[in-house]
Structure 1
Amino acid sequence: MLILSAIQVEDMMTEADLSVNTLTESFTSIVEHMQAINKHLLALNSCDIRDEALACCSETTDKIQASIVAFQFYDRMQQCLQHVTANLKGLSELVESPKRLYNPTEWRQFQHEIRSRYTMESEKLMFDAIVQGKSIDEALSIKNTHQEEDQSDNIELF
């Protein structure tokens, strides 16, 4: 059942990648077209209509840039889901072997492998909180507090 869950998540990520690739190509094309329109407008004599069209180009470019930044969420989500599927597969392998299932050393090694996959500080903080016996709500609160403190950067590198 754990492997099935991992496969389902991986399958959905593959399908989502196709959609995101289409969106990325579309945004790239839109940016190129907006640059061409802007260039053509700048070649025209100044008038109210031209200036309004240039303002629309500028606003559209800003919206496109905001959308591209929003794609960072998708990258972050995909990385998180990759960790989830790897963890599900690892857990499945661990519990299918009675020798490993009842061995505390195996569980500690598995926990170490999980934590070592994490590259975002928020993931490590949540993991550490859960391992320390904190509730899911407490772990999420720790993660959210960390993200609020990092809000000044607005981007968490991973």
Structure 2
Amino acid sequence: MLILSAIQVEDMLNESDVSVNTLTESFTSIVEHMQCINEHLLALDPCKVREDALACCAETTGKIQASIIAFQFYDRMQQCLQHVTLNLKGLSELVEDPDRLYNPTEWRQFQHEIRSRYTMESEKLMFDAIVHGKSVKEALAIKSAHQEDQSDNIELF
């Protein structure tokens, strides 16, 4: 059942990649066209219509930039779901082997593998909290507190 869950998540990620790739290509094309329109407008003599059109181009470019930032969330979510998939597969392999299932060293190694996949400090803090017996609610609060402390900084993943 764990493998089935992992495969379902993995399949949805693969299917969503096609849509996101289409959107990315579309946004790239739109940006190129907006730049071209902007250049054509700048070549015209100054007038109210030209200025209004340039302002519209600038506003549209801003909205495109906001959309690109939203895609970064998708990338982050996809990375997280890939980790979940790997974790489910690893857990399935561990519990199906009785020699590994009851071996504390195997569990520690598995935990180490999970933690090593995390690229953001907030994820590592949340993982550590769970490993040290905190509740899910407490672990999420620790993660949120760290993210709030880092709100002025960009946390790369």
For residues 17-42 of structure 1, give each alpha carbon's deviation from its aligned partner in whole angstroms, at most 9, with x where no partner exists.
Answer: 11110110010000001001101111
Aligned-pair distance for 1:122? 1.3
Query: Which stretches of structure 1, 4 residues or longer, exceed 2 Å deviation after superposition?
Result: none
| Partner residue in 1 for 2:134 | 134
Residue type of the partner of 1:27?
F
Tell me the percent identity. 82
Aligned-pair distance for 1:66? 1.2
| Partner residue in 2 for 1:15 | 15
For residues 101-149 of structure 1, give each alpha carbon's deviation from its aligned partner in whole angstroms, at most 9, with x where no partner exists.
Answer: 1111111111111111111111101100000110111111111111111
- Structure 2 unmatched ranges of 5 or more: none
| Partner residue in 2 for 1:96 | 96
Map 1:1-158 onto structure 2 (within 5 A).
1-153=1-153, 155-158=154-157
Supply the distance in 1 between the matched residues of 2:83 and 2:123 (Cα, whole angstroms).
Answer: 10
Aligned residues: 157
Aligned-pair distance for 1:67? 1.0
Given the two structures, how large is their TM-score scaled by the length of structure 1?
0.97
Supply the distance in 1 between the matched residues of 2:155 and 2:66 (Cα, whole angstroms).
Answer: 16
For residues 34-68 of structure 1, give each alpha carbon's deviation from its aligned partner in whole angstroms, at most 9, with x where no partner exists.
Answer: 00110111111111111000000001101111111
- Structure 1 unmatched ranges of 5 or more: none
Supply the distance in 2 between the matched residues of 1:75 and 1:156 (Cα, whole angstroms).
Answer: 14
